[in-house]
Structure 1
């Protein structure tokens, strides 16, 4: 988690359910026109989005940024691919790691930092169904223990 993370605008809650996140990277986003205004209003959805490396550059795909209400003809395409800003050595490292089977670049959070929209990208390995079930069992057991502890304190 980067230091000094500002206001979190959007989170991909499904990412931790579907992937084991091994590393995270903070990236800037290249935005057009009214996109930053929509992001500031919290009108971004990361649900089915992912990142891909093409020609030595990293792009965010399938992230939906709703058109700005007062944007009229200056509005943007909500599902366009957006370039992400990372250092060349970070992109090269990610390229090498995503070549391995089962690894994907998953957007985790979008937040505002010093007036700029930043995105937290995670290097994730896909979970199998039995891993997901096991995680749910652990979460449920933890919740039951906490509930029993609270009942005991009353």
Structure 2
């Protein structure tokens, strides 16, 4: 069982793909995490979007930015796996695909992320190191992490 990966700039997303990724982001970041925040933040237009589909359903997603569009280095954000599929460990596949996509699309290897604190070990497993003190983002503890 594996995912089908799509990588698309904003303008190449179909209406259905855009709807599905926004629905997934809302389902997890707003409803599941009980966090009221402005998900549609104007940054999607600059990002390339990595979508993981399983049996036609969007189940994994993140958005990728080239250096300077979000942080000084390339970055990965809105990292998400649909709750009912988290036991499949597809989050690891998603991060590996994201790192590869940054290298392939932007020619960059340095990556900065704003990680939810509880995912620190997850990101460390992919070569990221904590580079800031803990801070609150939308009421959730986060840390900045970098991969050199």
Question: What is the TM-score with the length of structure 1 in the denominator?
Answer: 0.30
Larger radius of gyration: 1
Q: Which has the higher contact order (CA 8 A, sep 6+)?
A: 1
Question: What is the TM-score with the length of structure 2 in the denominator?
Answer: 0.31
